[in-house]
Structure 1
Amino acid sequence: MTSPAGKIRLHLLKAMAGICLLVPLGAVPQTTPAGARLDRSQLKLTFREEFDSPPSFHDRTIAPEGRWKTNFAFGSQDRKQRRYWETRTLVPNNELQYYADPWRDAHAFEWRDGMLTIAARPASAGEPALDHGLAYVSGLITSEKSFLQRYGYFEARVRMPVGKGLWPAFWLLPRFRVHKDPKLPQPPAEIDVFENIGKREELHPTLHYGTRQDKRHASVAVTVAPVDAFHVYGVLVSARDIVWYIDEHEVHREPNHDFHHPAYMLLNLAVGGDWPGAPDGTTPFPANMTIDWVRAHALAPGPLPAAEESMTAAIQPSPDGRE
């Protein structure tokens, strides 16, 4: 979920055969027939979160076995550190939200009827968001501590809020030890299954790849049915291609340049930032992003033990103590 400031957007000016029309950012998207349907016969379920029971939140001391972590992997993970709060927002994007800690902060998560809702709202007096100049409280969940997988199909059934300054997203990040030598190539940044910047009928699938010295981004705008109704959003990652789906129909694909590391899933509702801009008087609060379920599948008949071995190796703490 990287700000588009300075990005090299690869604007696709025509529809791919049989899929939704892909247009340059800033243009008016147009609707075309849905693309090829996802073939589930080649998938084997490896992760399933139905939210049929209250979510299991991770905390390094209170609940180390928790499934969902609520802050980013980078930066200090120790709450006693002065800059710990930077793991609960994205400073480079100039975002305005603080991702709440469900164990200690005001709750940004609501669970009912087998669904998890991330609720964004203005911060109240005394909340840590205001201590750091952040005007809103929201939520983030990641499977960094519980599930990573190299290749496969990753999906979630989600209903998003609509309004100026809202930035819901579902994305994948690889787990790797960052090279301390800036001259060495870096693994890819991320895959955005979707990002939305408050528009009711537009989403942005994005691939970030390349190196620290040569960062590249492929992103398009896709016209969709209203995002404030439930839809299933997914991405199929193989050694050759990355293919995005909405309601099991292909909407975009890119060659897989270098996304070959075990990856974990993130879902969040950001507020403000360089790309969507700040909320205004028309933005509805609380703004609710509701997640019905999250699933992941391996590519059958690939050997699952090898994937699990890669996952286990990837989640070992790095030497500098970061999680």
Structure 2
Amino acid sequence: MIKNCVCLQKWQKLALQVIINISVLSLPGCAIAKPPGTGWQMTFHDEFNGTTLNTHKWNTCYWWATTGCKLNGDMEIQWYQTDDVITRKGKLRLRAQRRSMNGYNYTAGMVSSHDKYSFKYGYIEMRAKMPKGSGLWPAFWLIPQRRNVWPPELDVMEYLGHDPQGVYMTIHYKTANGKANSGTYWNGPDFSADYHTFAMQWEPDRIVWYIDGVERKRYEVAANIPAEPLYIVANLAVGSAWKNMPPDRTTFPKYYLIDYIRVWQRKSGR
């Protein structure tokens, strides 16, 4: 009986994976992404095909809060709210709007996989369309599963709404003298006009950033590369960020549209 149950469970798991692969491949323009080279397996993905957010994979605040939150120290002026996280028509819609709440004049949406999924080394990719407008600051990034630890931080993508053709890719790390970072600004197409892919290959000895499948940045100082599990954050902040471009009256509401988020890791476990 036990043997039969085990066989049934294995068959059910295989059948479920086949169904997932077929459903993903059947989406228009949404074939399963693969990192460069061979020897990878998908360990996490969300295609956002349901009518509600999958709370087995995502939180809608940082780990220290549940009903509302913000990240202090980043010049953010929004209050993150669950109702600004919307799953509709196969897209995750993170909304920013002008709304007074908890002493803030704006609310916005975010998702975080803390305590639900983290990984050490791999290839992570998002397909998304950016919002356009002064004061908007969408990002896609990784931070430690360990609490109250920063850096490290890996920014797969940061974007400022007043500059729709620019993307920032950055690693934050500790040094003997404190904290440092290595960032690159890449000027490309209007990222608010259509969907684009933003990816990062994280290895023990290098990190490589890709936009639309083309390498845009490489970092190879192994001593500064994170060697611990990191979790995923995608958020739409509101504020002046580091360019001192605050929101204007014409900006809101706006949406950060995410088609999918996927993670692959090497089958060897590295």
Task: For 1:295 and 1:195, locate their aligned partners in 2 and report how far apart those are by CA, in whole Å.
Answer: 18
Q: Once the two structures are aligned, what percentage of the paired residues are identical?
A: 31
Aligned match of 1:123: 99
State the 1:214 CA deviation.
1.1
- Indicate conservation of the 8 Å contact 1:153/1:296, yes or no: yes
Point out where structure 1 has 5 or more consecutive residues left out of the alignment.
1-36, 59-65, 80-84, 179-185, 308-323
Task: For 2:39 and 2:210, locate their aligned partners in 1 and report how far apart those are by CA, in whole Å.
Answer: 15
- Indicate conservation of the 8 Å contact 1:68/1:145, yes or no: no
- Indicate conservation of the 8 Å contact 1:49/1:294, yes or no: yes
- Indicate conservation of the 8 Å contact 2:156/2:198, yes or no: yes
- Indicate conservation of the 8 Å contact 2:85/2:110, yes or no: no
Task: For 1:55 and 1:234, locate their aligned partners in 2 and report how far apart those are by CA, in whole Å.
Answer: 25
Aligned: 1:207 with 2:171? yes
State the 1:111 CA deviation.
2.1
Read off the aligned partner of 1:235 and give its amino acid letter.
M
Aligned match of 1:98: 79
The structure where strand makes up a greater share of residues is: 2
Q: Closer, same or farther in 2 for the Cα pair 1:78/1:158, shift >3 Å? A: closer
Equivalent residue for 1:49, pick from 46, 53, 69? 46
Equivalent residue for 2:259, pick from 274, 286, 292? 292
Task: For 1:177 and 1:41, locate their aligned partners in 2 and report how far apart those are by CA, in whole Å.
Answer: 33
Aligned match of 1:232: 197
Aligned match of 1:89: 70
Which deviations, in whole Å up to 9, do the C-alpha atoms of 1:289-311 show, x marking residues without a partner? Answer: 00101100002x313xxx7xxxx
Q: Closer, same or farther in 2 for the Cα pair 1:40/1:50, shift >3 Å? A: farther
- Indicate conservation of the 8 Å contact 1:144/1:264, yes or no: yes
Task: For 1:95 and 1:161, locate their aligned partners in 2 and report how far apart those are by CA, in whole Å.
Answer: 17
State the 1:139 CA deviation.
0.5
Point out where structure 2 has 5 or more consecutive residues left out of the alignment.
1-33
Read off the aligned partner of 1:249 and give its amino acid letter.
V
- Indicate conservation of the 8 Å contact 1:55/1:116, yes or no: no
Which deviations, in whole Å up to 9, do the C-alpha atoms of 1:129-152 show, x marking residues without a partner? Answer: 2x22x2111001011132111000
Task: For 1:171 and 1:296, locate their aligned partners in 2 and report how far apart those are by CA, in whole Å.
Answer: 13
Q: Closer, same or farther in 2 for the Cα pair 1:265/1:177, shift >3 Å? A: closer
Task: For 1:93 and 1:56, locate their aligned partners in 2 and report how far apart those are by CA, in whole Å.
Answer: 26
Task: For 1:268 and 1:236, locate their aligned partners in 2 and report how far apart those are by CA, in whole Å.
Answer: 20
Read off the aligned partner of 1:279 and give its amino acid letter.
P
TM-score, normalised relative to structure 1: 0.67
State the 1:187 CA deviation.
6.3
Aligned match of 2:146: 176
State the 1:274 CA deviation.
3.9
- Indicate conservation of the 8 Å contact 1:152/1:298, yes or no: yes
Aligned: 1:249 with 2:225? no
Q: Closer, same or farther in 2 for the Cα pair 1:292/1:72, shift >3 Å? A: same
Q: What's the Cα RMSD here?
A: 2.2
State the 1:282 CA deviation.
4.0
- Indicate conservation of the 8 Å contact 2:115/2:145, yes or no: no
Aligned match of 1:62: none
Task: For 2:131 and 2:70, locate their aligned partners in 1 and report how far apart those are by CA, in whole Å.
Answer: 19
- Say which SS state the counterpart of residue 73 (structure 2) adopts: helix
State the 1:211 CA deviation.
4.8
Equivalent residue for 1:68, pick from 58, 67, 75? 58
State the 1:173 CA deviation.
0.7
Q: Closer, same or farther in 2 for the Cα pair 1:109/1:174, shift >3 Å? A: same
Equivalent residue for 1:167, pick from 118, 137, 150? 137
Aligned: 1:280 with 2:256? no
- Indicate conservation of the 8 Å contact 1:188/1:258, yes or no: no
**Please, which moves more after superposition, 169-178 or 151-160?**
169-178
- Indicate conservation of the 8 Å contact 1:97/1:271, yes or no: yes
Which deviations, in whole Å up to 9, do the C-alpha atoms of 1:123-179 show, x marking residues without a partner? Answer: 14xxxx2x22x211100101113211100001111101011110000000121255x
Task: For 1:108 and 1:298, locate their aligned partners in 2 and report how far apart those are by CA, in whole Å.
Answer: 31
State the 1:41 CA deviation.
2.2
